[in-house]
Amino acid sequence: MAEHRCKVLVIGGGPGGYVAGIRAGQLGLDTILVEAARVGGTCLNVGCIPSKAMIHVAEQFEAAHRFTAPNSLGISVAAPAFDLPTAMEWKNGIVGNLTGGVAGLLRKAKVRVIEGTATFKDGKTVSVIRPDGETDTITAETIIIATGSESVELPFLPFGGDVISSTGALALDEVPETLCVVGGGYIGLELGIAYSKLGAAVTIVEMADRVLPLYDAELTAPLTRRLEELGITVLTGAKVTGAKDNQVDVTDASGESRRITAAKILVTVGRRPFTKGLGLENLALDMDRAFIKVDARCQTSMRGIYAIGDVTGEPMLAHRAMAQGEIVAGVLAGKNESWDKRCIPAICFTDPEIVSAGLLPDEAKAAGFDTIVSSFPFRANGRAMTLEREDGFIRIVARRDNHLILGIQAVGAGISEMAAGFGLAIEMGACLEDIAGTIHSHPTRGEALQEAAFKSLGHALHL
Amino acid sequence: MRRAASVVDQRVERMGILTIKMPDIGEGIAEAELVEWHVAVGDPVAEDQLIASVMTDKATVEIPSHVSGTVVSLGGEVGQKLAIGSELVRLEVAGRGEPAPTEAAQAEAAALSAEPVGAHAAAPAVEAPQPDPKAEPAPPSAAKPAPAPAKPAAASPAAGHAVAPRAEGEKPLASPAVRARAREAGIDLRTVAGTGPVDRISHADLDAVFEKGSTQGNGSPKRGLAPDTSVKDIKVVGLRRMIADKMAASKKHIPHITYVEEVDVTKVEDLRATLNKSKRDDQPKLTLLPFLIKAMVIAIRDEPGVNAIFDDEANIIHQYGGVHIGMAAQTPNGLVVANVKHCEARDIWDTAAEVNRLAESARKGTITRDELRGSTITVTSLGALGGISHTPIINHPEVAIVGVNKMQIRPTWDGKQFLPRQVMNLSSSFDHRVIDGWNAATFVQRIKVLLEEPAMLFMEG
């Protein structure tokens, strides 16, 4: 049983925690990071990165498969074969590289990493149960809670066996013949689309009247069309009433009961903050429902205790956690930092991809803004044509009075790479004239952004 | 595609009031003098008609109107200087829609910035898909924001201008770098005026805040404070001109060394009070000055070098036997130096009488030229105004000046205890070309000793 002392203790080594740790170390703070599994958290190990790897595999396989039929590109191939274990190994290699890289960066920043599960004893002391059963005690001046989130389980569909979470879906050893995805949010869609492309017959069950219910119908329409093209069955307005073995009972929009039989049932109905076993009951922190309440400096209601990332609420996104981690480290190093971001762009790596930065049209209206909303379709974009993907558009939401850009949304193949530009525009306080006045390289999909700004200003060029 | 400037111009409301601002008429010019109005209030103005002529130190520039309308108000009077970007004229632009793009381009060429004012002038005339007004009733908080604040055409944040306060709770618009810099400096961006498009706060806007040394940005409109950009021009003539020339000559030619010493004047003050009580009616009331003059006369015997005129062109020091003490006196027109001649030949009463006489005629303006010339060393007193020391400027071409600071009771250590004593500082400057620090200090120390033991003033042969 070892005793440790440090200035900063970070609980959780995900994107929030490891960024806070690295930055704190860089700023010269004596820092310990406790992680129960491998550093990198959900994002690197079982989330963002491995899912993107599998999506890439699926896209490549689908492309190869497409060339088995006559096509306008004149390419023909024999029926492609696919070996999932090989792809998994490749994916695991990437995960290994990245988590190893994070561990190296922590070392370089002189952060001590302790493997184990942390439990608060009081506001300054944490006990850590190590894998070997030993218990360490860490006393810290400041503690950052960065324990992240976990998949929500349905009571009648507990994880186990053929009922899998997103984590399970990224560790299958064969492509299931049939896959039922419960929950049409972005995680279920990303994985459902990937397995569909890899050959599974996929059914997606969503309670709301459309998939990605947080986005407006205009934005999700190209995705809905594509799901149909891919042969994915989407049951919207459908409620899961029960499940047994490999069968899911669903009442669909028309009120009829259906029974879906699937080799695997993927439950992606959301994520909840992970605080189990953390001993928060010993702290009496102010909570916001299940989330830990924090202020603009990520400080909780208790002095010396900070929280970042998914435990602090929506949106549960890695880049939000990273930004918070950086702020907290700065605050602890005595810098005057606080959360002042204008937008946290969100991306769905569906097919087509969807990006949303800033306010959606409805959100802007609800916030009291008189807006101009204009979109420019990729069917009028040369680069989109050359990529055989003319579906989707870029849409700008701006204030009518001064043309300040409030939000930018886009849907289209490969559009995720434009998220940085959207975020930059909003963070810099760009107005329509700024985007209209910026040369957008030709031929790229990005031209659609400038065209949408032109259109908002009343003079689209290519429409 | 129209240019950005035309977008601004598009926001002109039909039947609106339009403000034409003082254009940026040349690099580095912050203001221009109005030399002529070509229009008056109520006059109709045609497009391209000249409205005003303004003058800078470089040229006279004529300013045309880029729109037609009727003059509502003029931004100033002839002879007044107007800051670049301030309001030049207000026009009522009657019965006109948005200016055609060509006009806007001309307006831009003339570097004129036109923005609408008035409560109903905020709707941009852009062609965008109009949402069905019935389906989308304007939300309550979509009330039009305050009209755009007057912006200087030169977009120079230094040129102060009024700021439309941001709507309650609205985040200030600034790039992350600007936000970080403001955070570092402890500046609340909500109080900073943005001069960029959409009132965006730029690094330059922050610079302006730093320059002003306040967190109020360009004024604090909420408290009714506004930058005063007025400048009053005063011709430097007559006595002021002479003072300016003399001061400049002195500072330009003479390397000053200033020496400050503290003098305990308790005893001399006691003596002065006694003398004033016991004096005959025909004798003048004594101030400290005659005693100081007396002390200087004696000190000059030991340090004759300070009582001199230095002709630096001929490289000759005219060291005087007689002590002619210049007495700096404030008059309504400025500073004069009256000459108390031959102080070495006056007793304390005589000196006092002469000092009083000269001071009186200087105040009345009856002092003669002769009485203002010929001093060989000067005394200046700011004592009554307070101040613990100053750096007097030598009355060129003299080589020394003795400055008197305020007399105060200060605790003085006598070796055993602190005693309340009347203490006064002497701040004296010397021409370091001809007077070494040693001699300067010796001179001042001698005065100190004489004033601290005033009996010595009268013990001389």
Q: Does an H or E element contain A97, and which?
A: helix A84-108
Q: Provide the annotated active-site residues of A.
A: 442
Please tell me which residue of chain A has the smallest CA distance to B170. Answer: A367
Tell whether A374 is within 8 A of chain B (Cβ).
yes
Whether A401 sits inside 8 A of B183 (CB atoms) is no
In percent, how much of chain A has pLDDT > 70? 100
Check residue B170 and give its pLDDT. Answer: 77
Tell whether A349 is within 8 A of chain B (Cβ).
no
Check residue B29 and give its pLDDT. Answer: 67
Check residue A268 and give its pLDDT. Answer: 96
Band (A95; pLDDT cuts 50, 70, 90)? very high
Residue A140 to residue A123: CA distance in whole angstroms: 9
Q: Where are the alpha helices (DSSP H) in A135-249?
A: 166-169, 186-197, 217-229
Tell whether A333 is within 8 A of chain B (Cβ).
no
pLDDT for A380 beyond 50: yes
Find chain B residues with C-beta within 8 A of A366's C-beta: 139
Burial of A366 (0-12, 13-18, 19+ CB in 10 A): exposed
Check residue B131 and give its pLDDT. Answer: 42
Band (B94; pLDDT cuts 50, 70, 90)? low
Which pLDDT tens digit goes with each residue over A164-182?
A: 999 999 999 999 999 999 9
In percent, how much of chain B has pLDDT > 90? 35
Nearest by CB: A431 against B127, B175, B198: B198
Q: How far is A366 from chain B (nearest CA, A)?
A: 8
Whether A402 sits inside 8 A of B145 (CB atoms) is yes
- Interface A-B, measured as beta-carbon pairs within 8 A, has a size of 82
| Interface test mutation site (partner A, options B198, B201, B215, max chain A beta carbons within 10 A) | B198
Find chain B residues with C-beta within 8 A of A339's C-beta: none
Please tell me which residue of chain B has the smallest CA distance to A366. Answer: B139
Q: Compute CA distances A249 → A156, A158, A243, whole Å.
A: 11, 15, 6
Residue B58 to residue B64: CA distance in whole angstroms: 19
Tell whether B186 is within 8 A of chain A (Cβ).
yes
Residue A180 to residue A35: CA distance in whole angstroms: 33
Structure ipTM over 0.85, yes or no: no
State mean pLDDT over A352-376.
97
pLDDT for A263 beyond 60: yes
Which pLDDT tens digit goes with each residue over A180-206?
A: 999 999 999 999 999 999 999 999 999
Tell whether B386 is within 8 A of chain A (Cβ).
no
Find chain A residues with C-beta within 8 A of B138's C-beta: 370
Question: Could you tell me which of B322, B324, B347, B326 has the C-alpha nearest to residue B335?
Answer: B326
Residues 6+ apart with CB under 8 A from B418: B411, B412
Whether B1 sits inside 8 A of A454 (CB atoms) is yes
* A95, A15 contact by CB (below 8 A): no
**What is the number of H-type helices and E-type strands within chain A?**
13, 24
Delineate the domains of chain B, giving CATH numbers in brackets. Answer: 2-119 (2.40.50.100), 158-214 (4.10.320.10), 239-459 (3.30.559.10)
* B54, B63 contact by CB (below 8 A): yes
Catalytic site includes residue B318: no
Q: Compute CA distances B304 → A233, A351, B307, B351, B427, whole Å.
A: 113, 101, 6, 20, 19
Which pLDDT tens digit goes with each residue over A287-333?
A: 999 999 999 999 999 999 999 999 999 999 999 999 999 999 999 99
Which pLDDT tens digit goes with each residue over B385-434?
A: 888 899 999 999 999 999 999 999 999 998 999 999 999 999 999 999 99
pLDDT for A94 beyond 90: yes
Find chain A residues with C-beta within 8 A of B126's C-beta: 372, 456-458
Find chain A residues with C-beta within 8 A of B173's C-beta: 404, 429
Greater pLDDT, A6 or B53:
A6
Check residue B156 and give its pLDDT. Answer: 40
Burial of B304 (0-12, 13-18, 19+ CB in 10 A): middle
Whether B198 sits inside 8 A of A403 (CB atoms) is yes
Q: How far is B189 from chain A (nearest CA, A)?
A: 11
Tell whether A420 is within 8 A of chain B (Cβ).
no
Residue B71 to residue B52: CA distance in whole angstroms: 12
Find chain A residues with C-beta within 8 A of B171's C-beta: 340, 342
Check residue B168 and give its pLDDT. Answer: 67
Nearest by CB: B142 against A368, A454, A457: A368
Please tell me which residue of chain B has the smallest CA distance to A428. Answer: B175
CA-only gyration radius of chain A, Å = 24
Which pLDDT tens digit goes with each residue over B285-300?
A: 999 999 999 999 999 9
Strands A257-261, B16-21: pairing kind: unpaired
Q: What share of chain A is helix, strand, coil (3-state, %, to 5)?
A: 35, 25, 40
Catalytic residue among B207, B245, B347, B436: B436
Nearest by CB: B179 against A340, A400, A457: A340
Question: Could you tell me which of B121, B191, B186, B144 has the C-alpha nearest to residue B163?
Answer: B191
Nearest by CB: B174 against A336, A337, A429: A429
Helix/strand/coil for A113: strand
Averaged confidence pLDDT in chain A: 95
Query: Around B163, how many Cα atoms within 13 Å sit in the side-chain half-sphere?
Result: 30
Find chain B residues with C-beta within 8 A of A461's C-beta: 1
State mean pLDDT over A38-58.
96
Longest dimension (CA), chain B: 110
Delineate the domains of chain A, giving CATH numbers in brackets. Answer: 3-151+272-332 (3.50.50.60), 163-269 (3.50.50.60), 346-456 (3.30.390.30)
List the Cα angle A208/A212/A213 in 5-degree steps. 40
State mean pLDDT over A364-378.
96
Tell whether B92 is within 8 A of chain A (Cβ).
no
Which of A232-241, B24-33, B93-102, B377-386 is most confident? A232-241
Find chain A residues with C-beta within 8 A of B179's C-beta: 340
Tell whether A403 is within 8 A of chain B (Cβ).
yes
Quote the tokens at residue A33: 């990071």
Residues 6+ apart with CB under 8 A from A199: A82, A175
Find chain B residues with C-beta within 8 A of A427's C-beta: 175-176
Question: Could you tell me which of B108, B100, B116, B121 has the C-alpha nearest to residue B19?
Answer: B116
Quote the tokens at residue B312: 């630096």
Check residue B62 and give its pLDDT. Answer: 80
pLDDT for A267 beyond 80: yes
pLDDT for B273 beyond 90: yes
Check residue B436 and give its pLDDT. Answer: 94
Tell whether A63 is within 8 A of chain B (Cβ).
no
Whether A429 sits inside 8 A of B124 (CB atoms) is no
Which pLDDT tens digit goes with each residue over B102-157?
A: 444 444 444 444 444 433 433 333 333 444 444 444 444 444 444 444 433 333 44
Sign of CA dihedral B228, B229, B234, B236: positive
| Interface test mutation site (partner B, options A216, A331, A335, A336, max chain B beta carbons within 10 A) | A336
Whether B197 sits inside 8 A of A455 (CB atoms) is no
Which pLDDT tens digit goes with each residue over B16-50?
A: 777 887 777 665 667 777 888 888 888 888 888 88
Greater pLDDT, B295 or B88:
B295
Which residues 18-47 on chain A approach chain B with CB closer than 8 angstroms? none
In percent, how much of chain A has pLDDT > 90? 95
Residue A188 to residue A223: CA distance in whole angstroms: 13
Query: Around B228, how many Cα atoms within 13 Å sit in the side-chain half-sphere?
Result: 5
Q: Does an H or E element contain B191, and which?
A: none
Tell whether B97 is within 8 A of chain A (Cβ).
no
Nearest by CB: B176 against A369, A372, A427: A427
Which residues 199-238 on chain B approach chain A with CB closer than 8 angstroms? 199-200
Find chain B residues with C-beta within 8 A of A373's C-beta: 129, 131
